[in-house]
Amino acid sequence: MDRRRFLFSSLALLAPRTAFAAEANIEIFPDEPIGTISPNIYGHFTEHLGGCIYDGIWVGEKSKIPNVGGIRKALVDALKELKPPVIRWPGGCFADSYNWHDGVGPRNQRPTRTNFWANTPYLQKAPDGPQKYEPNEFGTNEFARFCRLAGAEPYFAANLRSLTPFDFYEWIEYCNSPAGTTTLATLREQGGDREPLNVKYWGVGNESWGCGGNFTGDEYAVEFRRFIEWVPQFSLKPNFIASGPNVADYAWTRSFFQKLTEKSKRTLRRVYGCALHYYCGTTGKGESVDFTDDDWYTLLAKATRMEELIENHWQIMGEVDTERSVKLIVDEWGAWHHTDPSIDPRYLFAYFPTLRDALVSGTTLDIFNRHADKVAMANAAQLVNNIHTSFLAVGDKFTVTPIYHVFCMYAAHQGGTAVRSVFSADHMGQQGASGLRSLSGSCSLHGKHAVLTAVNPDIKNPQVARIGIRGVRVSNVKATVLTSSDIHAHNTFENPRGLEPTEKAVTAGTSFSYEFAPASVTRLEFDLV
C-alpha cells in the first residue's frame, strides 16, 4: 500500500460513520474564494461550417421541421435547458471571409458566396449545398433572434483579414444604433429588429496567426489597434476580444501584448479579452465511437493540458498587463474526431460524441472553474452538428449528445464563487496519460449551497472519496451522475436517450464519503449548515 492510500485508510478508520475506506480525498475551503464563475465560461460557438448553421440551426420558415421563424424549434427548446449565456458567431475561419453586409436586407436578394470550407477535400467530394455555397439566409438578424430565443448574449467575430475597420464600425452601427437614428438602424428594422441588438462582445478577427491573416503577434497588434481605435458606442461600450494564441504559442501572446502597448499601456483598458484556442484533438484511429482503453486515457490526459495553457498564457499576459485588466477567453475548445461517414457527407466534422467526450467536457469545465479569476468566457466548439457538439440534427432527426448533459449538470456552477478545493487522488499509470489523475474537479458556493463536480477517468475502478468542508456540516446531498458500463456509450437518432444522467440522494454529516463511479462525470449539490 502506498503512503497516500495508507493515510486515507487510516483517516477513514478514525472518522466515525465513514462508510468506505477512502481512496481519494476532497477538501473544500469555503474561506478561500478564487473568483466568481463567469456564466460566460459556459458559452457556445456556431460557425457556417458543415451542418452547424444550415440544417442545424436554420431550417427555413417553409420547412416541415418544426421551427420558430426558420429556426429549429427542438434545438431552441433543448438549448434553453443548458442556460447558454453567450454564443459566438459566424466563425471560426469563416469569420475572416464573411461580409456581414451579405447577410442583411431582404433574404431573397442576398448574394451566394463560396464558403471558406468549400475546398476542404472531404467536402469537395460531397454534393453541393449551403455548406459549400453560402446563401446568406442566416445573417445578423437571424442570429440575434436565435440568441434571444435561447436566452444567450451574441458574441460576434468580425472579419479582420478581408474587410476594413470601416466595415467593422458599420457592423457595430447596424447592430447597436438606436431605433430610427441611422440608415443602418433603418435597414436593421427592415430585417425585423427595430430596437438595437445591443451586441456587447466583439471579436476582432479569428486565429489571426493562421486563417485570419497569417500575421505575427506584432503585426496583428497593429491591426487590432487600428480596428478598435474608433467605433460608435451608443449606450453600450463594446467589449473587444483579441485573437489570441494557438495552443502553446507563448511567443504570440508575448509579442501581441508588447506591441499592443508600445505607444501606451492605456490601450490595455480597451481590451476585454485575449482568446486562446485549444482542441485536445483525437487519439488512435481518430474515430469518435471506436477507440481503445488507451485512446480513452490519452485523450483525457490531453484535455488536462488546458490547465497549463491557461496558467502559462496568463502569466505572460501579466508581464505587460500588470493591472490585470485583460481577461483570458477560450473561445474554441473541445475534442476533435474524424467526420463520421454515416452522417450526411456535407456535414463536415460531424460525429457522435461518446461518454469519453463527456469526460473531456467535465475535465475542461472544471479547469475553467478552478481558474475563475482568469477566464472570463469560453465557447465549446461547436454547438450543433460540429466537432465537440451538444446536438446532432439532420433533417427531421434530432438528438442531444453526452456533452449536452455535462453542460446541463455544470450550469449549476454559473455565477457561483469558485472556492479552493484540493482533490488528492492517484495519478493514472497508463502510458501516454501522464498528468491524468483518478479524480479531479471543482467546487462553487452559492450562498449556503455548494456545487461540486468531479470526473473519474478510471474505466474500471470507482473512486471512494472522503469529502470534507472545513468544520461545516452538510445536508441535502444530491448526486447527478453521467456514466455507463460501456465507455463508448453515446446517443443516436434512433436511441436519443442511450446515455443520460441519473440522480440519487446521499447521506452526509460533517464530512461524508462518496463513491464516484468508474468512467463518470458527477455533480454533487449540498447545503452548508
Closest of 48, 46, 72, 70 to residue 397, by C-alpha: 72
CB of 213 to ligand AHR, least distance (A): 12
Q: How far apart are CA 104 and CA 11, in angstroms?
A: 65
Select from 173-181, 298-306, 381-389, 462-470 the region that touches ligand AHR (CB under 6 A): 381-389
CB of 79 to ligand AHR, least distance (A): 18
Nearer to ligand AHR, 377 or 436 (CB): 377
CB of 352 to ligand AHR, least distance (A): 18
The reply on whether position 59 binds ligand AHR by CB under 6 A is no
In the list 23, 193, 207, 344, the residue contacting ligand AHR (rule: CB under 6 A) is 207
The reply on whether position 92 binds ligand AHR by CB under 6 A is yes
For residues 200 and 273, the answer to whether their CB atoms sit within 8 Å is: no
The reply on whether position 242 binds ligand AHR by CB under 6 A is no
Contacts 24+ apart (CB under 8 A), 118-122: 120/348, 122/339, 122/345, 122/348
The reply on whether position 93 binds ligand AHR by CB under 6 A is yes
Angle, CA of 345, 358 and 276, to the nearest 5°: 80
Select from 17-25, 89-97, 98-106, 390-398 the region that touches ligand AHR (CB under 6 A): 89-97
Number of residues that bind ligand AHR (CB under 6 A): 10
The reply on whether position 455 binds ligand AHR by CB under 6 A is no
User: Which of 134, 173, 207, 223 is flagged as catalytic?
Assistant: 207
| Letter string b/e over residues 287-302, b meaning 16 or more CB atoms within 10 A of that residue's CB | bbbebeeebbbbbbbb
CB of 349 to ligand AHR, least distance (A): 7
Active site residue 207: yes
The reply on whether position 303 binds ligand AHR by CB under 6 A is no
The reply on whether position 331 binds ligand AHR by CB under 6 A is no
Q: CA separation (Å) from 451 to 75, 419, 445, 468, 518?
A: 27, 10, 6, 14, 20
In the list 141, 206, 438, 511, the residue contacting ligand AHR (rule: CB under 6 A) is 206
Active site residue 332: yes
In the list 268, 387, 474, 517, the residue contacting ligand AHR (rule: CB under 6 A) is 387
Select from 103-111, 187-195, 380-388, 496-504 the region that touches ligand AHR (CB under 6 A): 380-388
User: Which of 23, 137, 153, 332 is flagged as catalytic?
Assistant: 332
**Cα-trace Rg, the chain:** 23
For residues 90 and 415, the answer to whether their CB atoms sit within 8 Å is: no
Closest of 317, 332, 437, 412 to residue 379, by C-alpha: 332
Nearer to ligand AHR, 51 or 92 (CB): 92
Q: CA separation (Å) from 246 to 91, 163, 310, 369?
A: 16, 22, 12, 21
CB of 45 to ligand AHR, least distance (A): 7
The reply on whether position 91 binds ligand AHR by CB under 6 A is yes
For residues 505 and 443, the answer to whether their CB atoms sit within 8 Å is: no
Closest of 24, 147, 99 to residue 456, by C-alpha: 24
Nearer to ligand AHR, 207 or 366 (CB): 207
Closest of 82, 218, 240, 227 to residue 152, by C-alpha: 82
The residue whose Cβ lies closest to ligand AHR is: 92
In the list 47, 193, 307, 366, the residue contacting ligand AHR (rule: CB under 6 A) is 47
Q: Tell me which amino acid residue 238 is.
A: P
Provide the 3-class DSSP secondary structure of residue 72: strand
Q: 140 φ, ψ to 5°?
A: -60, -50
Catalytic residue numbers read 207, 332
Q: Which residues bind ligand AHR (CB under 6 A)?
A: 47, 91-93, 206-207, 332, 381-382, 387
